[in-house]
Amino acid sequence: MNRKILQGFSLLLAGLLLLNACRHEILYPGGGGTGGTGGGTGGGTGSTNTCSPDSVYFVNDIMPLIASNCAMSGCHDAITHEDGVDLTSYTKIMKYVSPGNASGSKLYKEIIRTDGDRMPPPPMPPFTTAQKTLIQKWINQGAKNNSCAGRCDTTVFTYSGAVKPLMDNKCVGCHNPANPGGNIDLSTYNGVKLVALNGKLYGSVAHQPGYSPMPQGAAKMPDCEIIQIQKWITAGTLNN
CB 173 within 8 A of CB 216: no
Q: Does 182 bind ligand HEC (CB under 6 A)?
A: yes
User: How many chain residues are in contact with ligand HEC, going by CB under 6 A?
Assistant: 25
CA-CA-CA-CA torsion sign (127, 205, 224, 163): positive
Task: Work out how close the CB of 199 gets to ligand HEC at its nearest, in angstroms, rounded to a whole number.
Answer: 9
- Would you count residue 175 as binding ligand HEC (CB under 6 A)? yes
Instruction: Write the interaction track for ligand HEC spanning residues 36-75; mark x where CB under 6 A is met and - where it is not.
Output: -------------------------------xx---x---
- Torsion, Cα 28 77 104 121, to 10 degrees, reads -100
CB of 32 to ligand HEC, least distance (A): 10
Closest CA to 164 of 201, 216, 135: 201
First-to-last alpha carbon distance for the chain, in angstroms, is 45
Subset of residues 115 to 174 that bind ligand HEC, contact rule: CB under 6 A: 170-171, 174
Binding segment (CB under 6 A) for ligand HEC, from list 4-12, 51-59, 110-118, 216-224: 216-224
Interaction of residue 211 with ligand HEC, rule CB under 6 A: yes
The residue from 148, 152, 205, 233 that contacts ligand HEC (CB under 6 A) is 205
Q: CA 137 to CA 45: how far, in whole Å?
A: 18
Of 145 and 204, which CB lies nearer to ligand HEC in the complex structure? 204
**Does residue 216 interact with ligand HEC by CB under 6 A?**
yes
Question: How many residues in the chain?
Answer: 240
CA dihedral angle for residue 77, residue 83, residue 85, residue 89, rounded to 10 degrees: 60
Cβ distance 176 to 124 under 8 Å?
yes
Residue type at position 78? A
Residues of this chain that interact with ligand HEC (CB under 6 A) are 24, 26, 67-68, 72, 170-171, 174-175, 181-182, 184, 186, 195, 200-201, 204-205, 211-212, 214-217, 221
